[in-house]
Amino acid sequence: MASIKHEPLAYRQPIGSSPSSPGDPLALPPGISSEKFKEYISRAKEIVGEENVTVISTVEELQKESYMEPSKAHDMFHVFDKEYFVASAVVAPRKVTEVQALMRLSNEAVVPVWPFSIGRNVGYGGAAPRVPGSIGLDMGRHMNRVLEVNESGAYALVEPGVTFADLYEDLVKRGLDQKLWIDTPDLGGGSVLGNTVERGVGYTPYGDHFMMHCGMEIVLPNGELLRTGMGAMPDPTQPHVDGGSLDEQPGNKCWQLFNYGFGPYNDGIFTQSNLGVVTKMGIWLMVNPGGYQPYLITFPKDENLPKIVDIIRDLRLAMVLQNVPSIRHILLDAAVMGSKTAYSSSDKPLAEEELDAIAEKLNLGRWNFYGALYGPEPVRNVLWQVVKQSFGTIDGAKFYFPEDIKDKNAVLHIRAKTLQGIPTYDELKWVDWLPNGAHLFFSPISKISGDDANLQYSITRKRVLEAGFDFICTFTIGMREMHHIVCLVFNRDDPDQKRRVHALIRQLIVDCAAHGWGEYRTHLALMDQIAETYNFNDNIQMRLNEKIKNALDPKGILAPGKNGIWPTSYDKAAWRLTAESPLGR
């Protein structure tokens, strides 16, 4: 099969001018002529209805840059030119059979498709496709039902468009929110399913979303429908049909109860992958533990980090720390409570003394640990004693419950909701640290070890400061590791900042790889580079992924390039984005 060549930007319309032929998008799918594109669009309209197909032919779509009203067609936090990662059209199927028909059409026309659920994957590319001109498959616009909340089994079955806020509201409406809790990331507007397939995390004891999902329904690249785990066994009360509207059939009664079913466990290959479009997913809900107490512990000195981390490891592994707590750098909290100009008139990275002054002003530490206790009061009391005693060995540690802090904007009041699974939007504010604020996340995994965390902190901080940015980060603590999330905030209207932040994050990837630290997730622009660091035994993992990709999607139509995995129909070397890739035209 002939390779699809990267013709960077050649097929794109100059921004600001009118398309050369009416109906042309800003970016055509690679190798697809204007006529073929129009044919695809008219057939897509026959499948999903005219009103559910939007050709992205004007720059207006690119003006959408707000989390609350996210663009479905481009990366709102663009580190490249904002018209680089852009879809040619957005198609919103109304039901699973339409997704299947669209996959068949895309195979026939050899047009790449990029599925997303809500498109709020901010910091990692939002709704934008990796290959400019792909069709954005908007899974969330119509397919947004909570299909089931099972009280005794404590799980929900959701479609892609159900956000964390929606699921929470649904429980409230059913009068179940006091009994069943969800887990939410920092922001409540993302899709439960979308976040889980990206292996995102939240902060309750159910914080590892992929660990807590149970059963998926997936449309394969050829349009076939798969149910994983126990879902592979049909419900014997249902009529036997193959194909058709199988998606409407209730699943096996254990589909959302037991993840693994029989034989190889497949769910993992549909996460951070380009092997299927996920149309349903089960997620376990946490049963109200009978009591809850959020808390904050502040630590006064930058040098306290290693000791904090070593204490956390012992407590987390012993399950005294029951959830996914976080250690936040002072500037993350400061940014939630105000923009940089509220603290300094400097446009340089803030100095150590300035950070100390901010901590003092906000009555916070240089590091701030947000945790929670779960269970009936006597249980919480015992756990609290251990937590206090352990962290009390650090000089200057201070302990707070929400009622100790009057300022209603204080971060503890936000975390008090997040750590019991109540979605909020308050953490959006830290992106406004700089004017026209956007961010990239740099997210290496770290051992829960004082020495390792400290080394990773000092290496990343040094580079961030050298690049002229403020260092802002949080460590979220999993079962055996920490996700170190470095928040690279930049002004998206300042080309020099974009150039610097792009060079910076590429350097951070190199620095961390040299220490054996890899990232758990990344932005579209960096997928190739990070995938290349996971290169044990002559890249066997990538070779395996490519083999599976080519077997399941021989024409390479589903999300080519996602997480660095390119089908053979694409010339990988030409499509690879590197430090040298121009950020625009």
| Catalytic residue annotation | 124, 520-521
From its phi and psi, is residue 210 left (phi > 0), alpha (psi between -120 and 50) or beta?
A: alpha
Identify which of residues 36 and 199 has a Cβ nearer to ligand ADP in the complex.
Answer: 199
Q: Which of 113, 118, 488, 531 binds ligand ADP (CB under 6 A)?
A: 118
Please report whether residue 119 would count as binding ligand ADP according to CB under 6 A.
yes
* CA pseudo-torsion sign 473, 421, 126, 97: positive
Contact stretch for ligand ADP (CB under 6 A) within 34-42, 50-58, 186-194, 467-475 = 186-194
Q: Which of 26, 73, 157, 197 binds ligand ADP (CB under 6 A)?
A: 197
User: Which residue type occupies 524?
Assistant: L
**Distance between CA 265 and CA 492 in Å, rounded?**
42
Nearest distance in Å: CB 403, ligand ADP: 33
Nearest distance in Å: CB 491, ligand ADP: 23
Identify which of residues 115 and 564 has a Cβ nearer to ligand ADP in the complex.
Answer: 115
Identify which of residues 78 and 562 has a Cβ nearer to ligand ADP in the complex.
Answer: 562
Query: Cα 424 to chain center, whole Å?
Result: 16
What x/- string results for residues 278 through 317 when contact with ligand ADP is judged by CB under 6 A?
Answer: x---------------------------------------
Identify which of residues 25 and 119 has a Cβ nearer to ligand ADP in the complex.
Answer: 119
At CA 479, angle to CA 404 and CA 504, rounded to 5?
85
3-state secondary structure of 500: helix
Count of helices and strands (H, E) across the chain: 16, 19
Contact stretch for ligand ADP (CB under 6 A) within 27-35, 81-89, 194-202, 316-324 = 194-202
How many residues bind ligand ADP (CB under 6 A)? The answer is 20
Nearest distance in Å: CB 137, ligand ADP: 8
DSSP letter string, 351-410: PHHHHHHHHHHHT--SEEEEEEEESSHHHHHHHHHHHHHHHTTSTT-EEE-GGG---TTS
H or E element, residue 345: none
List binders of ligand ADP among 352-411 (CB under 6 A): none
Contact stretch for ligand ADP (CB under 6 A) within 189-197, 253-261, 499-507, 564-572 = 189-197
Q: What is the Cβ-side half-sphere exposure of residue 187, based on CA atoms within 13 angstroms?
A: 18
Q: Which of 195, 256, 368, 529 binds ligand ADP (CB under 6 A)?
A: 195
E strand map for 450-546: 473-477, 481-491
Please report whether residue 127 would count as binding ligand ADP according to CB under 6 A.
yes
**Distance between CA 18 and CA 35 in Å, rounded?**
17
Contact stretch for ligand ADP (CB under 6 A) within 120-128, 408-416, 434-442, 480-488 = 120-128
List binders of ligand ADP among 143-162 (CB under 6 A): 160
User: Which residue type occupies 584?
Assistant: G
Please report whether residue 190 would count as binding ligand ADP according to CB under 6 A.
yes
Q: Phi, psi (5° rounding) for residue 396? A: 85, 0
Nearest distance in Å: CB 54, ligand ADP: 17
Please report whether residue 93 would count as binding ligand ADP according to CB under 6 A.
no
Nearest distance in Å: CB 126, ligand ADP: 6
Torsion angle of the four alpha carbons 16, 20, 24, 25, in this order, in degrees rounded to the nearest 10: -30
User: Which residue type occupies 537?
Assistant: N
Q: Which of 121, 368, 443, 476 binds ligand ADP (CB under 6 A)?
A: 121
Residue with the CB atom nearest ligand ADP in the bound state? 194
Contact 427, 414 (CB under 8 A): yes
User: Which residue type occupies 117?
Assistant: S
**Distance between CA 141 and CA 238 in Å, rounded?**
29
Nearest distance in Å: CB 173, ligand ADP: 21
Please report whether residue 333 would count as binding ligand ADP according to CB under 6 A.
no
User: Which residue type occupies 225?
Assistant: L
Please report whether residue 123 would count as binding ligand ADP according to CB under 6 A.
no
Please report whether residue 191 would count as binding ligand ADP according to CB under 6 A.
yes
E strand map for 402-466: 437-442, 445-447
Closest CA relative to residue 228, chosen from 152, 274, 191, 280: 280
**Distance between CA 236 and CA 520 in Å, rounded?**
40
Please report whether residue 132 would count as binding ligand ADP according to CB under 6 A.
no
Contact stretch for ligand ADP (CB under 6 A) within 75-83, 169-177, 191-199, 338-346 = 191-199
List binders of ligand ADP among 549-578 (CB under 6 A): 562
User: Which residue type occupies 538?
Assistant: D
Give the residues lining the site for ligand ADP (CB under 6 A). 115-121, 127, 139, 160, 190-191, 193-195, 197-198, 277-278, 562
